[in-house]
Amino acid sequence: MLQTTPVSAPATELPPAPQPTLAGLTRAALANALGQIGVPEKQRRMRVGQLSSWMYVRGVRSFDDMTDVSKDLRSRLAERFSLERPEIVSEQVSIDGTRKWLLRLPIRGHDRRAPEIETVYIPESDRGTLCISSQVGCTLSCSFCHTGTQRLVRNLEPHEIVGQILMARDRIGDWPGATPPEDSRLLPEGDRKITNIVLMGMGEPLYNFENVRDAMEVAADGDGLSMSKRRITLSTSGVVPEIGRWGAEAGTMLAISLHAVRDELRDELVPINRKYPIKELLDACRNYPGLTNARRITFEYVMLEGINDSLADARELVRLLAGIPAKINLIPFNPWPGSSYTCSSWDQIERFADVVNRAGYASPVRTPRGRDILAACGQLKSESEKLRASERGAALTDGGS
Ligand code: SAH
Ligand code: SF4
């Protein structure tokens, strides 16, 4: 009689797909995941509450630490799911304490290679701001923005957006009882090290509306990450039809990348202006829900030498914004390899700021941070492009950059 010998898996077989993570999921998605492992419907709400509390209040990274969840359920969870965050490819720390992470996301669908995004943390004495990405690349091509030269690879999923917050809190020890990082001297003084979130990393967040909205729901959940919506700011290049909807459905603070006061110039700098010109954009701003003097819209204005930085432009800017509860943020242009603009001179920025100041807008110039690690606005592509695959293997650099 012939003996059957077990046949080993063919060498070409792909490694098993990593277990899907629960870290960063919304309450609804968590309930769904619990359903998949047979948790009865009437128990799911309570279980979701437990999971959220462990993942988002305590930051646990192992199901074993969830001590009020039965052993049996913990092992069923661990069989099917993980609590992984996005994979960190590199971490850079600037001399001013700014941290930048290059993150690799799992390959999905038609992705040809693992997509990468960047997340930046900017500490100040009284606050810590996390700048997160909403897309891999961007479909828009603002002429001064490095991300805009990269095609859109894909939208981020809600858990990949929340995952950036969880990862950053892990790295800077921003969980109850966590050990602070080696170089913690520049972290803010309060208990929470991440107090503000800005959707100003890679991508146009209003072109990934639902996923960004769901992610911000997780971020603002009072029984979870508990960020105040007044400390979450979405920045948009001006996707007019989605602005009011964002206000109604998400209700965070809003920043508008204005950058020019005439349509002709804005058409060139921020090409979405051809579709939604300045007047329509400002009308949408006027109607943004919940605007008051305590809840103003931030208007971002990048300072480009000889392009948009004349004092006539400054006066027109102030005139255009009259009647809108607004803050003005002048951003020194951050050059990148191949960019065709120069940043306005410091003198010109000051003269421009004076006009804006005299109209009643306080401290309008944004201090550039993390320049030594290319972490500034609009530079979030260069570093990932510069890094070769062989260099990426380098261990995380905790200390200096
Ligand atoms: N896509 C969104 C959010 C990401 S960009 C938006 O455009 O608003 C975040 C901010 O950085 C925007 O105001 C953008 O105009 C600005 N920015 C882009 N490139 C820049 C550069 N090279 N220097 C300074 N600011 C830049
Ligand atoms: Fe996209 Fe914003 Fe860059 Fe414009 S400025 S290309 S919208 S990321």
CA distances from 190 to 119, 239, 353 (A): 22, 36, 31
Task: Indicate which residue's Cα is closest to atom 1 of ligand 1.
Answer: 204
What confidence score (pLDDT) does residue 147 get? 84
Q: How far is the CA of 324 from the centre of ligand 2 (A)?
A: 24
pLDDT of residue 263 exceeding 90, the answer is: yes
Helix (H) or strand (E) holding 87: strand 87-93
Mean pLDDT calculated for residue range 287-304 = 95
The backbone torsions φ and ψ at residue 302, rounded to the nearest 5 degrees and listed phi first, read -80, 135
Tens digits of residue pLDDT in 323-353: 999 999 999 999 888 899 999 999 999 999 9
Mean pLDDT calculated for residue range 80-97 = 94
Residues of the chain above pLDDT 70, percent:
89
Q: How far is the CA of 312 from the centre of ligand 1 (A)?
A: 23
pLDDT of residue 30 exceeding 60, the answer is: yes
∠ CA(233), CA(85), CA(19), 5° rounding?
A: 135
Closest CA to 18 of 110, 85, 89, 81: 81
* Distance separating alpha carbons of residues 225 and 174, to the nearest angstrom: 11
- Please count the residues of the chain: 401
Confidence of residue 280 (pLDDT cuts 50, 70, 90): very high
What confidence score (pLDDT) does residue 110 get? 74
At how many degrees (to 10) do helices 311-321 and 346-358 cross? 30
User: 263 or 106: which carries more pLDDT confidence?
Assistant: 263
pLDDT of residue 379 exceeding 70, the answer is: no
CA distances from 4 to 1, 9, 10 (A): 9, 15, 17
**C-beta separation of 371 from 155 below 8 A:** no
User: Ligand 2 pocket, 166 CB below 6 A?
Assistant: no
∠ CA(251), CA(252), CA(255), 5° rounding?
A: 125
pLDDT of residue 357 exceeding 50, the answer is: yes
Which residues participate in catalysis according to the annotation? 118, 377
pLDDT of residue 63 exceeding 80, the answer is: yes
Dump the DSSP string for 362-383. Answer: -S-BPPP--GGGT-STT-TTHH
What confidence score (pLDDT) does residue 372 get? 78
- Which tokens sit at 373? 């690690």
Q: How far is the CA of 207 from the centre of ligand 2 (A)?
A: 11
What confidence score (pLDDT) does residue 157 get? 96
Q: What is the mean pLDDT of the chain?
A: 89
**C-beta separation of 361 from 398 below 8 A:** no
* Distance separating alpha carbons of residues 17 and 70, to the nearest angstrom: 27
CA distances from 111 to 116, 137, 268, 313, 357 (A): 11, 13, 31, 43, 47
Task: Indicate which residue's Cα is closest to atom 13 of ligand 1.
Answer: 257
* Distance separating alpha carbons of residues 136 and 155, to the nearest angstrom: 6
Number of Cα atoms under 13 Å in the Cβ half of residue 228: 6
pLDDT of residue 401 exceeding 70, the answer is: no
pLDDT of residue 152 exceeding 80, the answer is: no
Mean pLDDT calculated for residue range 106-125 = 87
pLDDT of residue 376 exceeding 70, the answer is: no
* Distance separating alpha carbons of residues 57 and 321, to the nearest angstrom: 40
Closest CA to 375 of 67, 129, 107, 33: 129
What confidence score (pLDDT) does residue 381 get? 53
